[in-house]
Amino acid sequence: MPKDRPPTRIQKKNRAAILEAALEVFSAHGFRGATVDQIANQAGLSKPNLLYYFPSKDAKFTALMSELLDTWLDPMREIDAEGDPLEEILAYVQRKLQMSRDFPRESRLFANEIVQGAPRMLDALSTDLRVLLEEKEAVLLAWMAAGKINQTHPKHLMFSIWALTQHYADFDVQVRMLMEGEDPFDAAPEFLETLYRRMLTPKS
C-alpha cells in the first residue's frame, strides 16, 4: 500500500496487467467462479502481490467495472440528435456490433453480472445507464414525432439493439457452433442493417 503519490512506472504496469488478467478470468467464469489464484497466474504475479495492488477480490472487480462502463456506453453517447435519424440509429447498431466483435470479454463480463442479478453493478447502472437511456429516449421520441422514423416503443427499441448486438459476443460459442466455421460477423452487419432499416423507415 504505497502512499498517496503519483503512480510509479511499476504501479502502472502491474495495475494494468492485473486488470487485464481480471477481465480475462472474470469474463470467463463470473465473479464467484473466478479465483484470485487464476487472476494471479494469468497476470504472471504472485497472489499476495495482487492483494498489494487491490485490497480484495471485490476491489479488483469494482475497479474493472468502473474502468469499462464508460467505454461500454460510449457508442450510445455518440448518437447525435442533430444527425439523420435513421442513419444515426444504424450507425449506433454497427458501433455496438463492432464492440461485440472487438471486445467480447467486456460484453461477457457485463452479461455474467447482469444475468446473476447485477449485485455489484446495479448502482452504477441505475445512475449512468438510466440517465443516458432517458436522454436518448427523448431523442428517439422527437424523431418519431417528426415522422423521421416509424413510431415504436423507444425503450424496447434500445433493448432490441443491445440484445441483438451483444448476443454475438455473449453467446459466441453457441453462434459459432451453429455457423460451423463461418464467421458470424461476416453477415451480421448486413442482417442488422436490413432489419432496422425495414423496421424504422417511415412508410411513404
Partner DNA sequence: GTTGGATTTGACCAACTGGTCAAACTCACG
Partner DNA sequence: CGTGAGTTTGACCAGTTGGTCAAATCCAAC
Contact residues toward DNA (CB under 7 A) are 2-3, 5, 8-11, 14, 34-37, 45-49, 51-52, 55-58
Cell of 98: 463492432
With beta carbons less than 8 A apart as the criterion, state whether 90 and 83 touch: no
Cell of 120: 455489484
11 binds, among DNA, its own copies, none (CB under 5 to 8 A by kind): DNA
Residue type for 202, please? P
122 binds, among DNA, its own copies, none (CB under 5 to 8 A by kind): its own copies
**Residue range at the interface with its own copies (CB under 8 A); choices 14-22, 69-77, 83-91, 167-175:** 167-175
What does 20-42 look like in DSSP terms, one character per residue?
HHHHHHHHHHHHHH--HHHHHHH
Residue type for 19, please? L
Q: Is 66 in the site for its own copies (CB under 8 A)?
A: no
Treating both helix axes as pointing N-terminal to C-terminal, what angle do 130-145 and 154-170 enclose, rounded to 10 degrees? Answer: 120
Cell of 29: 467464469
Binds its own copies (CB under 8 A): choice among 2, 7, 33, 44: 33
Positions touching its own copies (CB under 8 A) are 28-33, 108, 111-112, 114-118, 122, 125-126, 129-130, 133, 150, 152-153, 155-157, 159-160, 162-164, 166-168, 170-171, 173-175, 177-179, 184, 187-188, 190-191, 194-195, 198-199
